[in-house]
Copies of this chain bind each other. A is one copy, B any other.
Amino acid sequence: MTGFSSMATTSTAEGEAYRFILAGIRTARFKAGERLIPEEIATEIGMSRMPVREAFRRLATEGLVLIRPNRGCVVAGLTVEEIFEVFEMRSVLEGLAVRLAVPRLDSDAFAELDRLLDRMERSGDGGQDWVARHREFHEYICSFANRPKLLRQIASLHVTIEPYLRIWFHHAAKPLTAREEHQAIIDSLRAGDPAAAEALMSEHILTTAPTLTGFALETRGGG
């Protein structure tokens, strides 16, 4: 069963399990508070419990699931306070990333940013992947900071709140101020002042938080 050298699967079963569960959490197939049973997941993706368990550990370290000894693994729901906390952390980390990115942005980058902004806006009308586009937009900017650990941390924080963004976006309307806020960020990047761009990005993220947490409060999204 294990010896198919021709298989082009991912290098390890653990990695496969990790990505599978991660995707499930991000798309809210696995909802906050839901218990993840190793055996079920293992059989679904055709492996034993062990690599799944190891994937759990990775997810737990990233704060995406909670493992209590002898009580299994549950998807980590965030309280309203925790959602806010994640936004605070993103606020300073993405602020830092933007500050570092500013001197490295070239005209190609700005062209791509305009494109991403458009795509985000268009997806908002028809498709439901505004969240993914929005994420792309932020990540593209941050990628210019050229700081791998910083990027990974930002991405990890984003995954954490992505399910809540999706719920929000699904129930409420698309954030109408988003377009202009993001345009303002692009303008600020073009202006080339790192401190100003950092401040603007920080503020942008922080001001998004109350809207989302307020909505989460209404719909009892917290854990």
Contact = CB atoms under 8 A, between A and B. Distances in A.
11 contacts: A53-B54, A57-B57, A61-B61, A85-B150, A88-B147, A89-B93, A89-B150, A89-B153, A92-B95, A93-B93, A153-B153
Q: How large is the interface on A (under 10, 10 to 19, 20 to 34, 35 or more residues)?
A: 20 to 34
A184 interface: no
Given A88-B96, A92-B92, A149 B58 contact: no
Contacts of A86: 149
Nearest to A62: B61
B57 A89 contact: no
Given A86-B149, A92-B95, 17 more contacts: A12-B69, A14-B57, A50-B50, A54-B54, A54-B57, A57-B57, A58-B60, A63-B149, A82-B148, A85-B148, A85-B149, A88-B96, A88-B100, A89-B93, A89-B153, A92-B92, A92-B96
Query: Which residue, of A62, A63, A92, has the highest number of chain B Cβ atoms within 10 A?
Result: A92
A11 interface: yes
Contacts of A147: 85, 88
Interface of A: 11-12, 14, 50, 53-54, 57-58, 60-63, 69, 82, 85-86, 88-89, 91-93, 95-96, 100, 147-150, 153
Contacts of A92: 92-93, 95-96
Total copies of this chain within the assembly: 2
A139 to B, nearest CB: 17
A147 B88 CA distance: 10
A150 B62 contact: no
Contact of A57 (B11, B58, B95, B148): B58
Given A54-B53, A54-B54, A58-B57, A69 B11 contact: yes
Contacts of A148: 82, 85
A-B complex: 8 closest residue pairs judged by Cβ atoms? A61-B61, A92-B92, A11-B69, A57-B57, A92-B96, A58-B61, A85-B147, A54-B57
Nearest to A91: B96
